[in-house]
């Protein structure tokens, strides 16, 4: 999705906004642009990648706004990229979101002899402001306010006006955050764009507008026109936050999470935990070194974030379960008492919700309803003030999730969220948040955020089934196995990717909780290698999909103790039609043409299956010349409907 960064202060605004845009590249985009203010407004914009430019061909300035565009209204063309200007070139704007009534406004402006250079909805905003200033003889800020009341839809906008040393802004439905510096201020759609410069932020809420200057900011409410005092938040880095949670938890003596008295963590357990974490980090480093020696990392794997974030999972799972025990206890008590629980998400986060619904049933015998957020309105009649909604979102800005939560709040439902991005919109509209603590996920694909989301559901479910301490132990058993999976299978996964890279279709089969894993594996493969991968429940094979199995069609079979017999019979049916079987299990089988060994841990090794599937999708992307970090057409966070 589009990215916005603005700077006003004593430094070189061109440099700061260029650096900021590069931090936003991970969100996915197809064009970019800058506007700065000297005695006039200067514009530089183009299609392509920001990373290709060293400096911006604009005069020096202390005020600059910049934008990365992910095309919605109007194709990928230079004239459609932002910033957009008024006809008299005295106003420049960047915009995230969609203006729903832009056609009628555009018609009114054209009737009054105004012209447009782009096909976008955004361009009507600066032109309409110019129109009002001339027609009603009002000042810029008044014209901005009237324009905001005229337009319908979602927006996060920044504007510079030739006659004022300010950056104006307005927010409704799309994220916008102010960064407070010393003799400088920032504004962005994503705090990662300026976190290097300041960790003091103000999160704007819907229907707020105003401006930032070098040493001050003014925020108004569009409905009341009154000036607002907003809280300045301090962003702590994840390490600091993790340390604070561990310190807080140590103060809690007997950890009661489900009426069983837990034996308190004694010292040697605490030492084990610490050693585990250090061991994992050490093991991962050793494995990466081994792998680097075997595979020409330099030539093909130039440090893609996707691979880095896959490897980080041995530790991010542990960070995810490092939660404030009091908060976890409160949340699981609410889960225990509630019968209608809805799990909401999109894409990978939805696949996590579906997987969690299997865990709730299999481990707690508790019914929960997983819902694709964009389908939520079909379930709205079921939502009451007794309902518990658990929203899952890495970015906390996915518009379909936010829309579902806003409608649930109108029904007075309780909202818990599992989120990675602090101070995101979702964290601010939920009753309780469980932060994933995964650190910034740069790759557009969700990898470490997926396993962190699952780990948090396992923490809640195991804490209810057993107790908090045992939950931690069981989940650490999972994270401790990840280095082993990587070490034993990394090269074989590369070989398998070499074998199937030319294929255009690939199928994944899973039963029970392996079915949602098959869906997630298919999503990874399709979104990063553009192979048409389809995951489906093993029992569905003969209900249609088997018609697609041809000679050498690759099929990944996810198998474990619970469903091995039935899954192997699926494999035999596929094999007899010429399919190429890649088995994922902890024991091999002669039906498999290739085999990926998954460590056997207790009743649940299904979540471990996703690690080799992520690696396989990475190698398929590389083999097919795809960018694993920024796949075509995809954005890191879908903030427009």
* Binding stretches for ligand AGP (CB under 6 A): 346-349, 393-395, 398, 401, 444-446, 527, 637-638
Residue 96 CB, shortest distance to ligand AGP, in Å, is 15
Strands (DSSP E) found in 115-189: 153-161, 164-172, 177-180, 184-188
Residue 613 CB, shortest distance to ligand AGP, in Å, is 12
Q: Phi then psi for 300, rounded to 5 degrees?
A: -105, -30
Residue 259 CB, shortest distance to ligand AGP, in Å, is 34
Which residue lies nearer to ligand AGP by CB, 480 or 614?
Answer: 614
Q: Phi then psi for 537, rounded to 5 degrees?
A: -70, 135
State which residue has the least CB distance to ligand AGP.
347
Alpha-carbon span 543 to 482, nearest angstrom: 35
Give the number of other CB atoms < 10 A from CB of residue 49: 15
Name the 3-class secondary structure at 187.
strand
Which residue lies nearer to ligand AGP by CB, 190 or 277?
Answer: 190
Closest CA to 611 of 544, 524, 539, 552: 524
Omega within 30 of 0 (cis) for the link into 83? yes
Residue 456 CB, shortest distance to ligand AGP, in Å, is 13
Closest CA to 159 of 125, 183, 114, 120: 125
Alpha-carbon span 483 to 279, nearest angstrom: 10
Report the DSSP beta bridge partners of residue 418: 392, 434
Which residue lies nearer to ligand AGP by CB, 145 or 636?
Answer: 636
Residue 421 CB, shortest distance to ligand AGP, in Å, is 8
Closest CA to 58 of 28, 32, 76: 32
Residue 403 CB, shortest distance to ligand AGP, in Å, is 12
Which residue lies nearer to ligand AGP by CB, 86 or 394?
Answer: 394
Residue 1 CB, shortest distance to ligand AGP, in Å, is 10
Q: Is 407 exposed, middle or buried (0-12, 13-18, 19+ CB in 10 A)?
A: middle
Which residue lies nearer to ligand AGP by CB, 144 or 519?
Answer: 519
Q: Which helix (H) or strand (E) holds 428?
A: helix 425-429
Alpha-carbon span 35 to 37, nearest angstrom: 7
Which residue lies nearer to ligand AGP by CB, 169 or 342?
Answer: 342
N residues, the chain: 641
Q: Phi then psi for 7, rounded to 5 degrees?
A: -140, 135
Which residue lies nearer to ligand AGP by CB, 414 or 446?
Answer: 446
Buried b (16+ CB within 10 A) or exposed e, 114-128: beeebebbbbbbbbb
Decide the pairing of beta strands 200-203 and 184-188: unpaired
Catalytic residues: 2, 636
Residue 402 CB, shortest distance to ligand AGP, in Å, is 9
Question: Pseudo-torsion of CA 335, 336, 340, 345, nearest 10°?
Answer: 30
């Amino acid at each position: 999705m589009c990215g916005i960064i603005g700077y006003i202060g004593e430094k070189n605004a061109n440099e700061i906004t260029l650096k900021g845009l590069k931090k936003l590249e991970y969100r996915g985009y197809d064009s970019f642009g800058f506007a700065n203010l000297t005695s006039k407004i200067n514009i530089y914009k183009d299609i392509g990648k920001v990373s290709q430019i060293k400096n911006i061909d604009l005069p020096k300035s202390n005020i600059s706004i910049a934008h990365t565009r992910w095309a919605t209204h109007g194709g990928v063309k230079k004239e459609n990229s932002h910033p957009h200007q008024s006809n008299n070139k005295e106003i420049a704007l960047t915009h995230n979101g969609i203006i729903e009534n832009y056609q009628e406004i555009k018609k009114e402006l054209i009737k009054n002899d105004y012209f447009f250079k782009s096909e976008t909805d955004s361009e009507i905003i600066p032109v309409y402001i110019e129109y009002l200033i001339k027609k009603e003889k009002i000042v810029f800020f008044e014209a901005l306010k009237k324009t905001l009341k005229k337009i319908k839809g979602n927006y996060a906008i920044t504007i510079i006006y030739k006659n004022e040393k300010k950056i104006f802004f307005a927010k409704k439905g799309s994220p916008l955050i102010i960064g407070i510096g010393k003799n400088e201020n920032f504004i962005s759609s994503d705090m990662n764009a300026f976190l290097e410069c300041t960790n003091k932020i103000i999160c704007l809420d819907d229907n707020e507008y105003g401006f930032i200057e070098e040493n001050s900011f003014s925020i108004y409410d569009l409905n009341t026109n009154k000036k607002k005092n907003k809280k300045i938040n301090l962003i702590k880095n994840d390490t600091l936050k993790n340390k604070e949670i561990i310190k807080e938890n140590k103060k809690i003596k007997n950890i009661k999470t489900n009426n069983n008295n837990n034996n308190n963590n004694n010292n040697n357990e605490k030492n084990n935990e610490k050693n585990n974490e250090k061991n994992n980090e050490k093991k991962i480093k050793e494995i990466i070194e081994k792998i680097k020696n075997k595979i020409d990392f330099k030539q093909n794997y130039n440090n893609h974030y996707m691979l880095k974030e896959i490897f980080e999972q041995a530790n991010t799972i542990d960070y995810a379960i490092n939660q404030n025990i009091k908060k976890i206890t409160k949340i699981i008590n609410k889960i225990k008492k509630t019968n209608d629980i809805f799990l909401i998400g999109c894409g990978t986060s939805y696949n996590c919700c579906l997987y969690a619904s299997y865990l709730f049933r299999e481990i707690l015998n508790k019914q929960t309803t997983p819902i694709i957020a964009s389908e939520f309105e079909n379930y709205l009649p079921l939502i009451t003030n007794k309902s518990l909604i658990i929203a899952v979102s890495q970015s906390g800005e996915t518009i379909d999730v936010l829309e579902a939560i806003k409608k649930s709040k109108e029904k007075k439902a309780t909202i818990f969220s599992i989120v990675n991005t602090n101070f995101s919109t979702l964290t601010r509209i939920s009753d309780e948040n469980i932060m994933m603590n995964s650190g910034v996920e740069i790759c557009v694909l969700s990898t470490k955020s997926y396993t962190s989301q699952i780990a948090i559901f396992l923490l809640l479910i195991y804490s209810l089934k057993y107790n908090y301490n045992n939950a931690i132990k069981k989940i650490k058993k999972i994270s401790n196995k990840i280095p082993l999976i990587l070490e034993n299978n990394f090269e074989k996964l590369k070989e398998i990717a070499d074998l199937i890279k030319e294929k255009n279709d690939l199928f994944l089969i899973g039963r029970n909780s392996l079915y949602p894993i098959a869906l997630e594996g298919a999503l990874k493969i399709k979104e990063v290698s553009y192979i048409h991968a389809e995951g489906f429940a093993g029992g569905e094979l003969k209900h249609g999909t088997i018609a697609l199995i041809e000679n050498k069609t690759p099929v990944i079979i996810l198998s474990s103790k619970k469903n091995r017999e039935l899954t192997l019979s699926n494999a035999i049916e596929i094999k007899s039609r010429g399919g190429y079987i890649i088995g994922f299990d902890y024991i091999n089988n002669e039906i498999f043409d290739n085999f990926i060994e998954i460590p056997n841990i207790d009743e649940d090794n299904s979540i471990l299956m996703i690690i080799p599937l992520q690696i396989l999708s990475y190698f398929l992307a590389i083999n097919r010349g795809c960018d694993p970090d920024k796949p075509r057409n995809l954005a890191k966070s879908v903030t427009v409907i």
